[in-house]
Amino acid sequence: MTLELLHAGFLGILATILALLEIEIEGQAGWAERLPTFTLRHKLLGKKVTGYHILMISLLVTLMHYPYVSGVTWTWQKELITLSDYFLLAVFWDFFWFILNPYYGLKNFKREKIWWHAQSRWLFGWPLDYYSGILIALGLSYAASGMNSFMFNLEACLIMTGLLAVLESTYHKLYWKLHQN
């Protein structure tokens, strides 16, 4: 139980760090809009995919597999859990970007204000992509070992969401103070 809680907390913290890193890289121009990177149109996703995103996702998935080349025994069950972790992490990493980004914040987390999520359907204030990611994570986790680890991870990410929502304005003030020129 303790290891599961640490693992879940780690995912929430990692999602936060990734969101903060991406805010520093992209600023207000989300979806790598102004980065010097190539862009491809992904037919299945129905949206643009950039070289930046391909490399960030590849880096993260590779790092999540590091334990398996460091002595942890790889199994299909562990692989499914690792992939489940990635899909859940991706949803909250993206959502935390909006909470913490002072150019957006929760007040601007709306379909009409986010061009790269505008073509997605929205349900209860979230793009359908988020629900898809959570359902994929749930399915992978369930196939691996049931829902226990998924539920710990989801709860940790939801708790982190609440914490970041409370700290949103404080972080935005800190961001502007640190970025004064």
Q: Checking phi first, is residue 124 left (phi over 0); if not, alpha (psi -120 to 50) or beta?
A: left
What is the pLDDT, as a whole number, of residue 148?
75
Residue 69 has pLDDT above 90, yes or no: yes
**Which residue did the predictor score with more confidence, 6 or 134?**
134
What is the pLDDT, as a whole number, of residue 1?
62
What is the pLDDT, as a whole number, of residue 47?
77
Any idea where the domains of the chain sit in the sequence?
2-31+76-176
Phi/psi for 101 (5° steps) reads -75, 115
For residues 74 and 67, the answer to whether their CB atoms sit within 8 Å is no
Please state, in angstroms and as integers, the Cα–Cα distance from residue 84 to each residue in 55, 92, 105, following that order.
Answer: 19, 13, 27
